[in-house]
Amino acid sequence: MNTLLTPNTKPINWVRVVLLALTFWFSSSLLIDFVVMPGMFVSGMMTQPAFGTAGYGLFWVFNRLELVCAALILTGLLVTRQARREQAVMISGMRSRWAVEIALVLLAITLVLTYGLSPAMGGLGISLNVFEPGHIPAAMNRLHGLYFGLETLKLLGCAALLKLTFQDLRVSAE
């Protein structure tokens, strides 16, 4: 009980939390989108009967990590926006209105990917007949296009937030 009341605890450095979550999310998304998924496609895994289940299992875990990252980023940006510093809110990139709006859009995209597209794609990919050869339904191609469109927006949003964050780090170093 005494440890909770100790006045010597350091406050959370939300700039570091935002930067860590943002770089982890951005790099892991690039890894999944440009290494793992093309590798699975080239190896022929997408035509296997159990790919729908395996793909949904992979994206179930990854999408939950994305939700945690999006929540940490939005929380960190809101906390840093409320912090009183010598810089004005408009000068600071991280505490600007645009950073919070980008983070909200990223959270919305992640919610759509997690609870909308991934379950729909997993449902289309499940093979109910083991003896039937695997094929990719036409609706799956449309969902893949929508998924990669949202992924592109997510990567652009992460890159914009990284730019705003590094812009603040450069200004604070000067």
Work out the mean pLDDT of the chain and round it to a whole number: 82
> What band does 89 get if pLDDT is binned at 50, 70 and 90?
very low
Average pLDDT over residues 55-74: 93
Q: Which residue has the higher pLDDT, 172 or 57?
A: 57
Give 21's contacts (C-beta < 8 A, 6+ positions apart): 68, 69, 72, 73, 76
Mean pLDDT across the stretch 116-125?
84
Q: Per residue in 146-156, pLDDT tens?
A: 999 999 999 99
Please name the residue that has the structure tokens 């770089």.
23
- Give the number of residues written for the chain: 174
Q: What angle do CA 94, 98, 99 make, to 5 degrees?
A: 35
Alpha-carbon 136 to chain mean position = 26
Task: Please say if the pLDDT value at position 158 is more than 90.
Answer: yes
pLDDT at 90: 47
Give the pLDDT mean for 141-164: 93
Q: Do residues 65 and 28 touch, judged by C-beta distance below 8 A?
A: yes
Q: Which range in 72-81, 84-93, 123-132 is most confidently predicted, on average pLDDT?
A: 72-81
Contact between 96 and 161 (Cβ < 8 Å) = no
* Share of residues in the chain with pLDDT > 70 (%): 76
